[in-house]
Structure 1
Amino acid sequence: MAKIFRVSARTALSSVVEPIARALLRAGVSPNAVTVAGTAGVLVGALGFAARGHLLIALVLVVVFALTDFLDGTMARMKGGSTRFGAFLDSSMDRVADAGIFGGVAYYLATEGDRWGMVAALLCLAVGQIVSYVKARAEGLGMTCNVGIAERPERLLSVGVGGLLTIIGLEWALPAALWILAGLSVITVGQRIAHVYKQAQAQA
């Protein structure tokens, strides 16, 4: 279901993103520059606004700049495909952005006196990095690892929905979303390890 949703979302975004991508390429902007700019924007939203409790502004900025992850990929395809460095940079900047988002949320919850919410945010940060590492390590060994119920889009959507519900007055929503996400992320790590184990056994 999650994969079907992502495919539908990508199809809907294509009609908006592709003209922008063409315009940026004509202006001489590189996909790598868009990747870095998008990450910088996410960090401004997360650390400059979410950490200080300005959740609505933070949510808008993070959503807008997170979409550059789709824009830079579209630009790369239009140029004939992503380079090895471009793929490396994109993955690295995703990790930086995720750290900024969950770090900013953890700081905000700590200042609000919600220690358990802060713990949940830090767990999401730590386990989310492990989710990404497991995939990268598997692919580095020549195996696939595109499985799991809490991949990056689901992780960002979860914290975004929790933040939105908190903005409209449900103060418990963000910590609750983080705890659910932390649990799903742990399950995802297990799913990916099991998936790689089956491949390794088949290749043995």
Structure 2
Amino acid sequence: MLSTNARGFAQAAFGPAARLLVRLGVSPDTVTVTGTVLSSTAALTLLPTGHLTAGALVLGVLVLFDNLDGQMARLTGTESRWGAFLDSTMDRLADAAVFSGVAVWALRYLDGALGNLTAGLALVCLVLGGVVPYAKARAESLGMTADVGLAERADRLLVVLVAVLLVGLGLPAAVLTVALALLALASAYTVLQRMRTVHTQSRPGGAA
């Protein structure tokens, strides 16, 4: 899983920006919502119109900047359940925009079965990308944990954006199709892992 390493890099790279925004009086919630609006706009305008290279690069930068709101909340001592809820909800919207943009691109630019397959896999990834964090959140709401799985959010976004970039740079569209298929399998496996973990904990004597 890449989430921990990516978070550490983002903290080191964008710490100065977080401190600057705090000094300017910008709130973490403002950064959260603004980042989602920018990411969704980029995904739904650049990708469906065939600007894959630009889309992947812009979205990659915005994904890294997604760490800013958390850093700002820690710097100002304003971490809260509301902030965590808002951040998670906005993440789901941004992720949906990315995979929807890929699906629309596939239907517009790829012919026949390949276009339909790629778009279908993008939608499968979209759905499973919502189920993965839901399974963890639901487990925690029941007093259990589900901190297992291959496909965390950072991993899912890295895979799809790298594949989009490679296709934008001239590789065959099938590269993106294969990447989406692997991502769908990894996401489905993650859901099953979390279900199994929670099932074990829910048994009498199961460890939380």
Aligned-pair CA distance for 1:203: 6.3
Name stretches of at least 5 consecutive residues in structure 1 with no aligned partner: none
Corresponding position: 1:109 with 2:106: yes
Letter in 2 for 1:10: R
Q: How does 1:133-144 map to 2 (within 5 A)?
A: 133-144=134-145
Q: How does 1:61-140 map to 2 (within 5 A)?
A: 61-112=58-109, 113=111, 114-140=115-141
> In 2, are the aligned partners of 1:134 and 1:193 still within 8 Å (CA)?
yes
Letter in 2 for 1:64: V
Letter in 2 for 1:136: A
Query: For the residues of structure 1 that align with 2:133 and 2:119, how far apart are their CA atoms?
Result: 21
Query: For the residues of structure 1 that align with 2:162 and 2:190, how far apart are their CA atoms?
Result: 20
Letter in 1 for 2:156: R
Name stretches of at least 5 consecutive residues in structure 2 with no aligned partner: none
Greater relative contact order (Cα < 8 A, sep 6+): 2
User: Normalized against structure 1, the TM-score is what?
Assistant: 0.93
Aligned-pair CA distance for 1:68: 2.6
Match of 1:20 in 2: 17
Identity of aligned residues (%): 45
Match of 2:192 in 1: 190
What RMSD, in angstroms, separates the aligned Cα atoms of the two structures?
Answer: 1.5
Q: How does 1:52-63 map to 2 (within 5 A)?
A: 52-63=49-60
Matched length: 201
Query: For the residues of structure 2 that align with 1:13 and 1:46, how far apart are their CA atoms?
Result: 21
Segments ≥4 residues shifted beyond 6 Å = none
Letter in 1 for 2:30: A
Query: For the residues of structure 2 that align with 1:81 and 1:94, how far apart are their CA atoms?
Result: 19
Aligned-pair CA distance for 1:81: 4.8
With 76-85 and 97-106 compared, the bigger mean Cα shift is at 76-85
Superposed CA deviations along residues 84-132 of structure 1, whole A, max 9, x for unmatched, are 1111100000000011000110011011231110111011011111112
Aligned-pair CA distance for 1:60: 1.7
Aligned-pair CA distance for 1:10: 3.0
